[in-house]
Amino acid sequence: MESYESRVYWKQSLYGRNFLIWHGSEPELIVTDVDMIKEILNNKEGAYVQRKFGGPSLDLFGSGLPFSEGQKWSKLRKVADYAFHGQSLKEMIPAMIGSAEAMLKTWKSYEGKEIEVYEQFKTSGEIESGKLREALRDSIMLMLKKREDNVKTGQAESYGGDFLGSLLKAHHDADVKTRISADDIIDECKTFYFAAHETTTNLLSWSVLLLVSHPEWQEKARQEVVELYGQETPKTESISRLHIVGMILSETLRLYSPVIYLVRTAARNTRLGGLTIPAGLGLYVPPLFVHNSCELWGDDAHLFKPERFAEGMAKATRDQLMSYLAFGFGPRKCVGNNFATTEAKITLAMILQRYKFTLSPNYIHSPTVVLNLQPKHGVQVILSPL
C-alpha cells in the first residue's frame, strides 16, 4: 500500500515508536506505543476529544454519536448500545438474511464465471441499509410502544428509569418546546449507516480474498456451516456458533482493518508517556501498524492465521486487548461491532453453502485508502456452484 503503511513503517524505523508528521501546516503525532494508545483511547482524564469535521465531511458524516462529546455522547451511546445489542440485534437478523438471499439470487447469473465481489457487497449493502434502517426503526418503535402500553394499562407507573424511559418522558412532555418526536430518536442513528455500510463491505471483500488465497480455511469454514445448517437458512439462535467463520473475520480485520486511523485531538495541554502534548495537537493511532507488529503478535504477524483467535481475543492478544484495534478500544469502541460481525457471518455462511470460489487471474492486489481501506480494483473471483 503506497501512501499510508509505507509512510508509517518508514518513519517509524527512522524516528521510533511515536513521531510527528506535518499535514500541511497541521502537526500530527503518530502513536504506535500500546501503553500510550491505551491511555489515549481510555481517556480517563478527559484530555482527548474526537476530531471535529467541517465542510463536506460534516455533511457526509452528520454530527451524531461518533462526533459528539460529553452528555450528548453518553445519552446517544446508551440508545445505540440498546439498538445494536441483545434482542434488538436478534430482531434485525431476518433482514440481514433476506438481504444476503436477495444478493445471492443475482449471483446465479455469474455461476462458473468471474464475479467482482466488492461491487456486489456495496450494491447489496445500499439496498440493505434501507431495509435495516426500517428494521431498526421498527425495533425501537416496538420497545417504545410496549412501554407506553404498560403505562396506559397501569402495569407500570413510569416509562422506565433508563435513557429510553427519559426519551419517552420527553416525547410525552406537555411543553411543546421540550417535547421530542419519535423520529428525533431514530434520526440520531443516521450517521451509523455510513459507518456500517462501507466498513462491512470492505470486511466482506477482504475476507473473500483471504479465503481464495487460503483454500484450506475456505474448506474448514464451509464444513462448519454445512455441519450447522446443511442447505438450510442460518438460524438466529445459532449464529454465534459459527466459530471458525468468526475467527476468519477477526483475522481479516487484523490484516485489513477498514479504519486506518483512530484520531483524537488534545483538548488541553497534557502529558502522555514522557511527552508534553500541547492543546489542539492531533493524535493518530494506526490499527494496521499495531496489528502487524511482530513484538505484539509474534514473528508470523504478517500471515493469515485465524487459529490465533481459536481461544478468544484475550488469548490472541496475550491479554493486551489494545493490540487489536479493528473496532477501536475503550469507551468509544465501535457500537456496531456485534452488528457487523453478525451480518458478515451470515453473508459469508450463505455464500459458502452455495459456492466454492477461486482467485480470478484478473485480480490486481492494490489496497487503497478512500476513507476506509478498500481494494482499489475490486476483488474478482471465479464462482463455482457446489
C-beta nearest to ligand HEM: residue: 336
Minimum CB–partner distance for residue 231 and ligand HEM (Å): 27
Closer by beta carbon to ligand HEM, 88 or else 353: 88
Distance (Å, rounded) from C-alpha 42 to C-alpha 46? 9
Closer by beta carbon to ligand HEM, 41 or else 381: 41
- Annotated binding-site residue? 334: yes
Minimum CB–partner distance for residue 382 and ligand HEM (Å): 25
Minimum CB–partner distance for residue 331 and ligand HEM (Å): 7
Cα end-to-end span (Å), the chain: 35
Closer by beta carbon to ligand HEM, 336 or else 367: 336
Contact criterion met (CB below 8 Å) for 96 and 125: no
* Helix (H), strand (E) at residue 271: strand 270-272
Any long-range contacts for 357-360 (C-beta under 8 Å, 24+ apart)? 357/208, 357/211, 357/212, 357/218, 357/381, 357/382, 357/383, 357/384, 358/212, 358/215, 358/382, 358/384, 359/209, 359/212, 359/213, 360/114
Minimum CB–partner distance for residue 284 and ligand HEM (Å): 10
User: Which residue type does 86 have?
Assistant: G
On the 0-12 / 13-18 / 19+ scale of CB atoms within 10 A, 299 is exposed
The CA-atom distances, in angstroms, between 375 and each of 3, 154, 344, 356 are 14, 56, 17, 21
Closer by beta carbon to ligand HEM, 193 or else 357: 193
Closer by beta carbon to ligand HEM, 212 or else 253: 253
Minimum CB–partner distance for residue 385 and ligand HEM (Å): 28
Nearest to 323 by CA among 40, 35, 50: 35
Minimum CB–partner distance for residue 259 and ligand HEM (Å): 4
The radius of gyration computed from the CA coordinates of the chain, to the nearest angstrom, equals: 22
Name the site residues for ligand HEM (rule: CB under 6 A): 65-66, 77, 80, 84, 192, 195-196, 199-200, 203, 253, 258-259, 262, 326-328, 332, 334-336, 339-340
Closer by beta carbon to ligand HEM, 340 or else 350: 340
**How remote is the C-alpha of 197 from its chain's centroid?**
9
In the β-sheet with 380-385, what is the strand arrangement from edge to edge?
Answer: 114-116, 380-385, 355-359
Question: Which residue has cell 438460524?
Answer: 235
Minimum CB–partner distance for residue 294 and ligand HEM (Å): 22
The CA-atom distances, in angstroms, between 215 and each of 121, 209, 276, 297, 353 are 21, 10, 49, 23, 15
Minimum CB–partner distance for residue 68 and ligand HEM (Å): 8
The CA-atom distances, in angstroms, between 377 and each of 120, 145, 192, 203, 371 are 13, 47, 26, 15, 16
Contact criterion met (CB below 8 Å) for 255 and 206: yes
Closer by beta carbon to ligand HEM, 140 or else 195: 195
Closer by beta carbon to ligand HEM, 144 or else 253: 253
Contact criterion met (CB below 8 Å) for 298 and 291: no
Q: Which residues are annotated as a binding site?
A: 334
Q: Which residues are annotated as a binding site for heme?
A: 334
